[in-house]
Amino acid sequence: MVNFSSYVGRVTATVLTLALLLAAIAAWRWGRAAAYAVLFAAFLSVINMLILGGRLIALPASTQRAAQRLGGAVLQRWIITILGLIFAIFWLHLPVVGLVAGFLLTHFVFLAFLVRERSRQRS
């Protein structure tokens, strides 16, 4: 559990640091709304990662129950993502380009950490 917590902390810190940097660039280039969109998408992705991580830690021993729990986590993540995007686009009026940039940033950071972790396990 300690390894998971430190891993999640490193990923979260990296995502949020890079999101702040990208938001500063977006604010400079396209305005404040684009910066808010990048930050909103990054926070939404981090929340989704934490939800799935929490579900993975608490998986039951039964394969059937574990599959159901993971399916529920994936469904929950999709619902949160879709509702978050609807909220961001239609109520906060955030630009879609900034939201996409924030999501791409966080997903590439997650992918880089996974690839790095996988290569460490193979060594």
Span 5-21, pLDDT tens digits: 677 788 888 999 999 99
For 26, the domain range is 2-122
Nearest to 94 by CA among 45, 35, 47: 35
Residue 46 CA: distances (Å) to CA of 31, 61, 80, 82, 85: 23, 27, 12, 15, 14
Q: What is the pLDDT of residue 69?
A: 80
| Whether pLDDT at 55 is above 80 | no
| Whether pLDDT at 96 is above 90 | yes
Nearest to 40 by CA among 101, 99, 95: 99
| Whether pLDDT at 75 is above 80 | yes
The structure's pTM equals 0.82
Burial (0-12, 13-18, 19+ Cβ within 10 Å), 19: buried
When divided into structural domains, the chain yields a total of 1
| Whether pLDDT at 3 is above 60 | no
